[in-house]
Structure 1
């Protein structure tokens, strides 16, 4: 006997809706779930476009010269409040740029650091570790303007300090590389190492950013990757397409090598602080008149050295 609708067991209509039963036809999937998935994909696409646009505009114009509304408009969003909706404020957007790049940078740097720690000598470890810091950044040339963005950020010391929070983990391998260098230079005073490391990184980022601004528009995607495994700047898999591209790749690889050598020398150079403090304590005689003094170009406190020849300045 055919049952009426009221005679079906309680909850039967829910089971039919769950399986997609409609008027005797069967549908696959969940329309609501599919729509949520499409909405998520659209949101993710918009978010990625905002990050890429913000990176470019910050690199070109500076961090304070670009508003969230300008970023949304330049990203093609019809909603000028899209950047604020996705990130809240500019500080969070800056963090998002770091997070967006962190996966590739940390993965690449981890491989290079593993090679660096397996070196036979301390000097080789220093050279390889410095290269592990610089090379992944160089390989991003032609993939946006991240290095130029970093150069803008490092000029804003207070904001740079806030964005690079250790707990975020976005620059975990960068901090690991710094620790390796510190262990490889045990005789260098901590304050001296910190100053030299900061100076070396600023030099590297400024040099790469300058290259990026001049040549990034000419370079093709993945061009920088040609020098990833060959420090001489030649593509191990064969010549790149076109003489101009080959010159760009070679030039960039040479820049990475030069930076690694310069930064390694800067970090590993003997410190004049030990000699200076020994003389101050009276353990040895001061240098003779006319002898060049390495620390008298400027005082450690930033003041010019005004001591007469043959005498060291009296500093606390």
Structure 2
């Protein structure tokens, strides 16, 4: 088989896995099913190209997140060049829009968004560790900007909020895609820009929401218990 043939086979397997994982969950699809659905006769093709389920998942992230990361870094560069690092909405746009643009471009992008939301629900895989140090520089950079803007908020609260809102935003993008498909089936159009801009507004509101007395009290109890245990 030629080099280009190997690449074609690898790509078919990757795209098929991404779609099936998004539909049925990462642990809901066997590797054999992926090979069959990709039209491959060689049962060992997936192991040849990816080594394992974990290697396949890592390859999906590598394919999609490099483009998302590049776009996010470009947006953050522009924010810094324009001295807008105190603009929470601009930072939220740099987090939300790169993923939304992938979803909007093509069906494959929508498959990735569904795959991503399934990964969030799979405790067997730690996404943060999988992409740490190579595919998450943009998110880390955006989070640091947010932390500087919300310096009065307890660090423990902000550290908890940021990944939760990140995950919720991904689910929202997947839901926007599903709504868009329903509208198209009914002969209507969804205003994608308005929907994503509204999501950005929600993102800003969630991350900067005042911390309630109840939450502060829970945090204080947790910290007191930790100090007692360490004494």
TM band (smaller chain) = 0.7 to 0.9
**1:254–1:108 CA distance, 2 compared to 1 (3 A):** same
**1:140–1:157 CA distance, 2 compared to 1 (3 A):** same
- Which residue does the alignment assign to 1:170? 135
Residues 164 and 171, structure 1, Cα contact 8 Å, conserved in 2: no
Q: Which deviations, in whole Å up to 9, do the C-alpha atoms of 1:225-261 show, x marking residues without a partner?
A: xxxxxxxxxxxxxxxxxx84xx33x2x2222111111
Max Rg structure: 1
Give unpaired runs (5+ residues) of structure 1.
1-37, 220-242, 273-293, 304-314
Residues 1:76 and 2:39 are matched in the alignment: yes
- Which residue does the alignment assign to 1:133? 95
TM-score, length-scaled by structure 1: 0.62
Q: Which deviations, in whole Å up to 9, do the C-alpha atoms of 1:131-166 show, x marking residues without a partner?
A: 111111111123311111110001124413465341
Give unpaired runs (5+ residues) of structure 2.
226-231
Matches of 1:47 and 1:66, distance apart in 2: 18
Q: What's the C-alpha RMSD, in Å, of the aligned pairs?
A: 2.8
Deviation at 1:83, TM superposition (A): 1.0
TM-score, length-scaled by structure 2: 0.83
2:201 to 251, 257, 261: 261
Q: Which deviations, in whole Å up to 9, do the C-alpha atoms of 1:169-216 show, x marking residues without a partner?
A: 122222222222222222222211111112211211111112223435
Residues 1:202 and 2:167 are matched in the alignment: yes
Q: Which runs of 4+ in 1 moved over 6 A?
A: none
- Which residue does the alignment assign to 2:115? 149
Higher relative contact order (CA 8 A, sep 6+): 2
Deviation at 1:299, TM superposition (A): 4.3
- Which residue does the alignment assign to 2:228? none
1:191 to 144, 153, 156: 156
Q: Which deviations, in whole Å up to 9, do the C-alpha atoms of 1:256-290 show, x marking residues without a partner?
A: 11111111122223334xxxxxxxxxxxxxxxxxx
For residues 258-297 of structure 1, the aligned pairs below 5 Å read 258-272=198-212, 294-295=213-214
- Which residue does the alignment assign to 2:50? 87
**1:116–1:158 CA distance, 2 compared to 1 (3 A):** farther
